Structure 1
Amino acid sequence: MRDTTDYSGNFQQGTVYHKSSIINNTYLNTPAAVVEAEELAAATAHLEKMPLDRVPDVAPLPAGSVIGLATNPLFVGRQADLQALAAALVAGTTAAIGQIAAATGLGGIGKTQLASEFAHRYGCYFAGGVFWISFADASAIVGEVARCGGVAGLALADNFDALPLEQQVTMVSAQWHNALPRLLVFDNCEDEALIEAWRPKTGGCRILVTSRKVDWSPHLGIAPLALGVLTRPESLALLCKHRPDLAADAPDLDAIATELGDLPLALHLAGSFLRQYRHVPVGEPARYLAALRAPDLLDHPSLTGSGASPTRHDQHLARSFALSVEQLNPKDPVDALALDALARLACFAAGEPVPRFLLLASLPIAEDDAAQMQAADALKRLTDLGLGEPEPDGALVLHRLLVAYVRRTVDGLPAARNAVERAVESVCDILLEDGYPAPLQAWQAQLRAVAGAAVAESSDNAANLQLSLGNFLRMIAAYDEAQTAFEQAVEVYEHRFGPNQPGTATAINNLGLVLRERGDLEGAQKAFEQALKINETIYGLNNPTVATIVNNQGAVLQDKGDLDGAQAAYERALTIDEATLGPDHPDVARDIGNVGAVLHAKGDLIGAQAAHERALKIDENSFGPNHPKVAVRLSNLGPVLQGKGDFDGAQAALERALAIDEVAFGPNHPVVATRVNNLGSVLYAKGDLEGAQAAHERALKIDEATHGPNHPNVAIRVSNLGAVLRDKGDLDGARAAFERALTILESRLGPDHARTRSVKKSLETVTSILEK
């Protein structure tokens, strides 16, 4: 049974203690011992000298201090943390050392070691002394407090040790309640009620708490310090203190720190192992690194607690984690849900934030208020035990070594992994359907990790996850990675479900989209034909899924210059979608927009404008005025208006499209390059050559960064830039631009493509002028 205390200082019913250990108000609220004004003034002035802008050297503690830990010569780093504690404590605040970023409250993060270092460096400024109280065992706190008044401490009476325990505590409490500045360290205190019961209600004491808990009740006035793992230079410095013969820039040491996640306890154990076995092969960093990368990492002898501990804590890393996990009772509904959440957290990417909504989506939680409150309580239970570090936005982080521990000890991991995979796929697809990449970019590390693990584990969800991953990567223009993901999805679909299944067709179609965007028109056409054949067999000739692939075929035909073939494909898709989805469906807008694009290319500006305006109206009604799909319609309408001589209308449409897409995709996405390029063309037509040049140069820079130097889109940007340079009189620059564009287009689209012929004609014109 866990010990509990009411705020008046009386233990409630719980563990039974010896009569002399019972806390009561009689001595906790003892009147403060008198301090002479002169002594108090001197002590206060001395405390005010405590430096806040630097970390002082280790110094002897005031007489009467009780601290069981010696200074640690292996201590490294933590300068900012020490200064933060000093600032909080000099102001009279209770400070609690916790942890953020890698593993809040995690065992082995170095909380007690930091408190010890603080006491030895700053304790000399507390004239009343430093007193270290272990709160690990609530029943032993009374004895810990009494010890501070004995001959090894304050020496409050010649016969102090012979006095009743209650009287000893009364005498110590009286000293702590006076105004003399003292530092009390409450080590390993996880219970707020114990702090409430034992901290002096008045006087000059400052209290430093070490705890795995990071969320404290506001009424306690605690200023928590977010204690993270060591920085990489600090980790290397710690390893080198154990092995000074090794260079800090040795690659193997850096890799060891990575494997151990910069966790102080793990690094101390690793350094001790490397020092102990420095004369035998197992102590060689490269060999030790290889051993750490084995699946049974936590069973390596170096992490099982041999050697001396500077804090006298258990140095067995797994047992350090177990201290927290074993406090969760599977028979308690909140704790049971916390265990389920912990298992799911271990299925995400280790050391990376797991969005709270994503974690909750993987748990069997009802939507009613009671269930949601229980879920919040379960996650708070984890963070209170140091089994998950809360980020400011509510996300949770598990240290990679804790993840390794959970994966091998917590029950129900296969079910947890399946739940996480399904949640990631579902949430990802919903966000992708919205058309905005930003919400997914925030947790793309989790999407990548879960999708990759699903393939490695041959999960039933592997293919779907690779498909979702590919769709996201394509949206953010990571085309190389997207192609790999789609190829992986095709392979898994074909292996597990067969070559003629809907999932296989979808993966092949999406692979074709990436191939087209990378300029591989032949590969894209082949992929679309294969996907279309599968879906026509499954769904028939007149299904919306078929229409989507037919649309994609039309786009490739248009890219290849076959405008009649493209128009036929687009019109077939439009006929299917209008019949099955109705005239105002977003897919119909897509089809109409594509018909408008081919009409524009064929010179039918009236028909193109009507098509684009209808498509724009549908999408604005479907998505609102500021959606990326609306930007597509505006971007297509702008050049048509330009062709009709309405330059102002074209510029307004294109500027609106650009504003939408810069918000949706950021300033350096290839979609933005297309909008900027089109805007540059309007500025060119209006005679604004400087503005046009700036626009085309920006578009070129984006596309070169995205596609490389030899993509057809790059050729278009270079060609447009060449036209601006020609009109500005820079004929040499124009010829160089046209030559580069022609080289790209001849190799990627062939010499007979309309774009190739157009650029070749521009080059010939400039060349003839220069040669006259």
Structure 2
Amino acid sequence: MIAAARALWDTWPDQIPAPGSLPPGSRLSASFAPNPLFGGRDAALAEAAAGLKRGDGMVISPGPLLTGCGGIGKTQLAIELAYRYGQFFAGGVFWLSCDSPEALPAEIASCGAGLDLAPNYAALPLDQQLAQVASRWQDGRPCLVVFDNCEDPGLFRQWRPRHGDVRVIVTSRRRDWPLDLGFAALPLDHLARVDSIALLRRFRPVLTEAEADSIADVLGDLPLALHLAGSYLRRYQTPAAAYCAALERADPLAHHSLKVGEPTPTGHDVDVARTFAVSLDRLDPADPVNALARAILTHASWCAPGEPVPLWLLARALDRDEAGAEEWGEALARLDDAGLIERGEDTLRLHRLIAAFARPLSADTVADRIETAAASVAFQQNKIGLPGPLLAWQVHLRHLADQADRRQSLSAAPLLNNLGVHLRQISDLSGARGASERALRIAEAVYGLNHPHVAACINNLGSVLQDLCDLSGARAAFERALRIDEAFYGPKHPEVARDVNNLGSVLQDLGDLLEARAAYERALQISESVYGLDHPQVAACINNIGACSWGLGDLSGAQAAFERALRLDEAAYGPDHPKVAIRVNNLGGALRRQGDLSGARLAYERALRIDEAIYGLDHPRVATDVNNLGEVLRAQGELLGARAAFERALRIDEAVYGPDHPEVARDVNNLGSVLQDLGDLLEARAAFERALAICIRFLPPDHPHLRIVKSNLAALGLAGQHRED
């Protein structure tokens, strides 16, 4: 008999088999049948089956541990494993529910009812029944035992089969199990979107893919929620758009479809929120660590659902300086054990429906704290000037800003304002404009028209308008901000220096270099009096004065200004900061104009290395570096290299600004110059004419850039006549 059982084991297939009948004597609830709607879990089935197969010849091979939040499909997968692979366990398949730990001994004893044990088995005392089952499980025939909903490793350790050729599956919300138990953990995630769509359309075939996709998105692809939603749509034939809108209007877990529905194939509770409450109830708030765990959960629930939340952000909101402390780590472990979070190295992630479940458990003060913390950190990171750190959690900044706007929170304006600054840094100019305009509207409504917070929003919007080449709009914004801050702070405040400096920059773009220089010099005077002579803010003013000196023909003065600004910023930021790249770039320009081509080339190459490392390969600052390097290459006679540089700069700027922007005109004009050098006069003329059309559209008639393009086009006409003669 044992040999026959082993021979059956040896027929284990390489491919996933169809569901089959269970061996005689098996114990599996009659309500647990193969699910005709089961799908999307082939990879998990194969991995779990491999875990069962591994360890042939060992005393015990526990096999896979199926973990995940409530409703993720752990029990369903175990049922499918039992029906698809149970046929290869000649000793039988035995299902043990661990929902009630004190009832587990009786569950094990019930496994003997269908086995060929003692004739008077049913009349035996419990301990003798347990001994009979244990003896049967250790007789050498392969058996499969499922511990369903086992959350306590101690309970499993107490009642696990200890001898015989037994394979074990455990389903649990807990992910972290002792290593000595030998489990091959198999964390289950939500369904892939394509499988969620397929499941919904099996319930309601008239759903379009787009409709099913929208519903699956709201439900976070959670199998239990999808089953209940599909049953609801099939029963009531509710239009998909109306159903989806109803879910999005309020808490989706409060919708009838996710609270009372058709029975599930696993007999699972059809109230999704109650499924999550089972996990939360394990965290008694009377315990300080559990109270902290609940606080972490509720604060995280306000962040973008389904996205990794940085632990430092939660620690900041909870005013905990030492996020790595033992109590903090234990609180996270308990949330993980309860299946309420998915823990990463420095993050945690909530399923969107768990977030929806946890959010109403918190007071408004929780939302206020996480929003305030996010706004504060965003401001600090924007001030440093490196977009990478904020980019890593930008999704949460966006979500919190939108949420604060809906809640009419005082944090809405600073969140949106800082989002706009960040988006401008990464050259999402349309996004930056939208965020900045929203921030300004909210700030005006909250603080009135003449408050410094309003001036800050106006300033940031003005910078975006300047980047978009709405120079009149930018000038008006900076002038308004200046009026507000002068009235509030007086004429010699740092905020006034900021406004004056920004106004100088737009005057420079408009070609009014004398007025721009006067503005920069006023900003410098204020900054030096407030910060001293060696502050980065002073460096910015000096740099801008150098740019005006350059435009006015004072190249040596410009070089001296750029060199001083560079020294200050290198001392403040180190050698590889984007502000340093700006100073190096400007210094390269002064060197190039004075004939030091090798010095200019080294400067431009250094600026390019810094900006590519910070912003990536397709940022406008990189385009500026590449364009400037192209000018040096052209002056050094490397015409093909120059052409490649100008073409790369043009591709970047067209992608960011569109086809009609002064930065694009600069690139096109320079490309025309090198095409002229290469003898391609027709293409050169087309480039100059395109650059001229852009400049006429955006720049004043006496702007120096416009004069340069006109001069190039006129010179090309003379060159063409000479060649024709």
TM-score by length of 2: 0.95
Is contact 1:95-1:225 (8 Å) kept? Answer: no
Higher relative contact order (CA 8 A, sep 6+): 1
The reply to whether residue 498 of structure 1 matches residue 448 of structure 2 is yes
- Alignment of structure 1 residues 341-490 onto 2, 5 Å: 341-365=296-320, 367=322, 372-391=325-344, 393-408=345-360, 410=361, 412-490=362-440
Q: Does 1:628 align with 2:628?
A: no
Of residues 678, 681, 702 in structure 2, which corresponds to 1:731? 681
Deviation at 1:218?
2.4
Q: Deviations over 1:27-48 (max 9, x none)?
A: xxxxxxxx85x346525523xx
For the 8 Å contact 2:94–2:145, the answer to whether it is kept is yes
Cα distance in 2 for residues equivalent to 1:575 and 1:336: 54
Counterpart in the other structure of 1:564: 514
Give the match for residue 673 of structure 1. Answer: 623
Q: 2:183 aligned with 1:222, yes or no?
A: yes
The 8 Å contact of residues 96 and 211 in structure 1, kept in 2 or not, is answered as no
Are 1:97 and 1:227, in contact at CA under 8 Å, matched by a contact in 2?
A: no
2:315·2:321 contact (CA, 8 Å) conserved in 1?
Answer: no
CA contact (8 A) 2:5 2:89 kept: no
**2:311, 2:323 within 8 Å by CA — same for their partners in 1?**
no
CA distance in 2, matches of 1:193, 1:226: 20
Query: Where do 1:135-146 residues align within 5 Å?
Result: 135-146=98-109
Alpha-carbon distance in 1 for matches of 2:8, 2:467:
73
1:196-345 pair list within 5 angstroms: 196-244=157-205, 246=206, 249-278=208-237, 283-345=238-300
The whole-number CA distance in structure 2 between the counterparts of 1:202 and 1:439 is: 53
Asked whether the equivalents of residues 98 and 213 of structure 1 are also in contact (C-alpha less than 8 Å), the reply is: no
* Separation of aligned partners in 1, 2:450 and 2:559: 40
Report the residue type matching 2:684 in the other structure.
Answer: A
| 1:337 partner letter | L
Aligned to 2:58: none
Asked whether 1:763 is paired with 2:707, we answer no
Q: TM-score, normalised by structure 1?
A: 0.90
* Cα displacement string for residues 461-515 of structure 1 (whole angstroms, at most 9, x for unaligned residues): 1111111111111111111111121122222222111222211111111111111
Give the partner amino acid of 1:290: A
- 2:26·2:94 contact (CA, 8 Å) conserved in 1? yes
Query: Structure 1 residue 752: deviation in Å?
Result: 2.1
- SS of 1:158's partner is coil
Question: What is the identity, as a one-letter code, of the residue corresponding to 2:504?
Answer: G
Name the structure 2 match of 1:16: none
Name the residue aligned to 1:644.
Answer: 594
Structure 1 gap segments, 5+ residues each:
1-34, 100-104
Output the CA distance in 1 between the equivalents of 2:182 and 2:170.
Answer: 12
SS at match of 2:147: strand
Q: Deviations over 1:494-551 (max 9, x none)?
A: 2111222211111111111111111111111111111111111222222222112211
Whether the 8 Å contact between 2:626 and 2:649 is mirrored in structure 1 is yes
CA contact (8 A) 2:9 2:88 kept: no
The answer on 1:124 being equivalent to 2:74 is no
Tell me the CA shift for residue 367 of structure 1: 3.7
Distance 2:439 2:243 in 1: 37
The superposition leaves residues 121-143 of structure 1 with CA deviations (integer Å, 9 ceiling, x where unpaired) of 12222332221111111011111
Q: CA deviation at 1:287?
A: 3.4
Aligned to 2:221, the other structure's residue is in SS state coil
CA contact (8 A) 2:72 2:190 kept: yes
Distance 2:504 2:245 in 1: 53
Distance (Å, rounded) in 1 between the aligned partners of 2:44 and 2:300: 28
The verdict on how the C-alpha distance between 1:243 and 1:509 changes in structure 2, with shifts beyond 3 A counting, is closer
1:96 to partner: Cα distance: 4.7
Give yes or no for contact 1:343–1:413 (8 Å, CA) kept in 2.
Answer: no
SS across alignment from 1:293: helix
After TM superposition, give the deviation of residue 98 of structure 1 in Å.
Answer: 4.8
Give the match for residue 29 of structure 1: none
Amino acid at match of 1:169: L
Q: Per-residue deviation at 1:90? A: 1.4
Opposite residue 384 of structure 1, the aligned amino acid is D
The one-letter amino acid paired with 1:402 is: I
* Farther-moved stretch of structure 1 (170-179 vs 539-548): 170-179
**Matches of 2:419 and 2:595 in 1, distance apart?**
43
Task: Judge conservation of contact 1:654–1:679 (CA < 8 Å) in 2.
Answer: yes
Distance in 2, Cα, partners of 1:465 & 1:329: 34
Which residue matches 1:507?
457
Residue in 2 that maps onto 1:62:
23
Cα distance change, pair 542–685 in 1 and its aligned pair in 2 (3 A): same
RMSD: 1.8
What is the Cα deviation at residue 625 of structure 1?
Answer: 0.9
Distance 1:699 1:328 in 2: 57
Counterpart amino acid of residue 7 in structure 2:
A
Moved more, 754-763 or 215-224: 215-224
Measure how far apart 1:291 and its partner are: 3.0
Q: Match of 2:468? A: 518
Q: Deviations over 1:701-754 (max 9, x none)?
A: 111111111011010011111111110111111111111100000000033211
| 2:44 paired with 1:81 | yes
Task: Render the CA deviation track for 1:78-101: whole Å, top value 9, x for unaligned.
Answer: 1111111112221135345555xx
In structure 2, what is the equivalent of residue 24 of structure 1? none
Q: How far apart are the structure 2 equivalents of 1:72 and 1:186?
A: 20
Q: Percent identity?
A: 49
Preserved CA contact (<8 Å) 2:299 2:367: yes
Please state whether the residue corresponding to 1:329 is helix, strand or coil: coil
The whole-number CA distance in structure 2 between the counterparts of 1:180 and 1:166 is: 23
Aligned equivalent of 1:160? 121
* Amino acid in structure 1 at the alignment position of 2:444: E
Contact 1:43 1:180 in 2 (8 A): no
Following superposition, the deviation at residue 179 of structure 1 comes to 4.2
Q: Does 1:191 align with 2:141?
A: no
1:475–1:94 distance in 2 versus 1, CA, 3 Å: farther
Counterpart contact for 2:6–2:142, Cα < 8 Å: no
- 1:98 and 1:657, CA in 2 relative to 1: closer, same or farther beyond 3 A? farther
Q: Answer yes or no: is 1:72 the counterpart of 2:31.
A: no
Q: Is the 1:126–1:183 contact (alpha carbons within 8 Å) kept by the matching residues of 2? A: yes
Quote the Cα distance in structure 2 between the aligned partners of 1:98 and 1:730. 68
Q: Which runs of 5+ in 2 are unaligned?
A: 56-60
1:585-640 deviations in Å (ceiling 9; x for gaps): 01111111111111122222211111111111111111111111111111111111
Q: Which amino acid aligns with 1:376?
A: G
**Range with bigger deviation, 175-184 or 692-701:** 175-184
- Give distance in 2, aligned partners of 1:98 and 1:682: 62
